[in-house]
Structure 1
């Protein structure tokens, strides 16, 4: 096998998946536990998004353990989703909550392996002066951290709304998911300091289905044609921003892992090093894009 693919990725490009504690990944990677999954991801990629931080601040001991398990790839960056208490609630103890969340980030900061913080606002979060101030207040509280805003409501398309946020020094995520009549689409003509691309899948049929499970909503495999377009877009963004992060979250049945490997191969020309079970589940991994 050639050098691990993550070593062949350009210095300002980071590719990976969201989370690793998905039971579907265990048999695909012939792993007995999630530490084994994390170790594989650290060999294969240079980016992992931590999703569990949305539900509670990171534990220092656990964070250090993750860093130790991945120490053989010091190019690996962790991006961290912000605590829901900060992006979905008006906390009465805002300063205390920010301090608590920052404490869990410290191992990543000290090791220089923190890629970015992601502030994921809900689809119902509309553009308003109050909500804009909320975002700007968060950006100020996390000044000094690479800060990415994830928006979904179409009202943020209004003239000037995105630029005001960008002027704070924050970046705005490009979220790839099913497009409906009034979905939010980031204005690429006003590029962020860093580009953060998150691929949730394009399962139009289930995305707004009230009874659909999360797994059903994210059940989508990006085709070779999809990925060729994405790769071309990334090449453009690399010339406009200081860094580009591409994270796959179409996690159902391990699909995010397969698509991330494909995209990385398309952008680097390196081969795909995948266990037999993963190749059996996704035979298209043998093909070039």
Structure 2
């Protein structure tokens, strides 16, 4: 099973681009997207652990799509705030949100995302070992961005522990990890961030500026090929292809294109998207009501 989808669903700039405008009464963006995609990566859990009541709401809103799986980012306390060791209460708070997803069968992966500054040192390897043991009962995938991690021993270790590797596309600067097609567990993962070189490391760049990038078909085709390669590995059971270049629905556009490239056919797409990206989308998608209705 290969599942495609964007990172997140709550963006004001998607109104009239991805979502209809004005929005219909009782419009639910999560349920709407779950009619087109079989996964969405949850970003909000990076900033704060999700409450169990919130998780139950998400689960109800995707019931109409039995193929749908969430992936969710681990709370930044464990990946970006490493000056002090985490506490048992912090672990319990994260588990309280992730456990209902796991128990419902809707948790595709927990994404452990480290920043580019996280290099392969003895101290960082020890932190990573402790972290993956702490949350080892979840399907884990790991994203590192620095080239020091690109060693056979590292990938062998992931495979031994059943941890998936996140193959990323990012602006390539000195010592940035380059595009790969590694499959180190039952879960394969592709994550494309865009190639906005101008704003990627600019200190004052906002979220929208950093992820404002629309891939061309020529840039996406190698990722479609890598997706097929990952899916063909004997240990791979599920592949998640997530687009994080969210500004003005570009992630949705590129996710649909990637799906079409891999499957070799046009795919259904939200009709509003064609107002802005019709010329780009026409060879890959066709406007349609959600094929899985909420």
TM-score by length of 2: 0.87
Contact 2:7–2:41 (CA under 8 A) maintained in structure 1: yes
2:243 equivalent among 248, 253, 262: 248
* Aligned match of 2:87: 94
Contact 1:136–1:165 (CA under 8 A) maintained in structure 2: no
- Uncovered stretches (5+) of structure 2, i.e. residues with no partner: 286-294
User: CA-to-partner distance for each residue in 1:193-238, whole Å, 9 max, x for gaps?
Assistant: 1221111001223223333322122111111122222212211111
Paired residues in the alignment total 277
Contact 1:53–1:82 (CA under 8 A) maintained in structure 2: yes
Contact 1:53–1:81 (CA under 8 A) maintained in structure 2: yes
**Deviation for aligned residue 1:147:** 0.6
* Aligned match of 1:119: 112
1:20 maps onto 2:9 in alignment: yes
- Structure 1 segments (4+ residues) deviating >4 Å: none
1:52 equivalent among 28, 44, 51: 44
2:207 equivalent among 207, 214, 237: 214
**2: CA distance, partners of 1:24 / 1:89:** 30
Contact 1:25–1:37 (CA under 8 A) maintained in structure 2: no
**Deviation for aligned residue 1:93:** 4.3
1:288 equivalent among 284, 289, 292: 284
Q: 1:158-173 residue pairs with structure 2 within 5 A?
A: 158=151, 160-173=153-166
TM-score by length of 1: 0.89
* Aligned match of 1:70: 62
User: CA-to-partner distance for each residue in 1:34-55, whole Å, 9 max, x for gaps?
Assistant: 9622112100010110000001
Q: 1:126-275 residue pairs with structure 2 within 5 A?
A: 126-158=119-151, 160-185=153-178, 188=181, 191-193=183-185, 194-240=187-233, 241-275=236-270
Contact 2:266–2:283 (CA under 8 A) maintained in structure 1: no
**Deviation for aligned residue 1:288:** 3.5
Contact 1:59–1:104 (CA under 8 A) maintained in structure 2: yes
* Aligned match of 1:3: none
Contact 2:213–2:245 (CA under 8 A) maintained in structure 1: yes
**1: CA distance, partners of 2:262 / 2:179:** 23
* Aligned match of 1:80: 72
**2: CA distance, partners of 1:128 / 1:275:** 45
1:250–1:267 Cα change, 3 Å: same
Higher helix share: 1
1:211–1:55 Cα change, 3 Å: closer
1:18–1:42 Cα change, 3 Å: same
* Aligned match of 1:110: 103
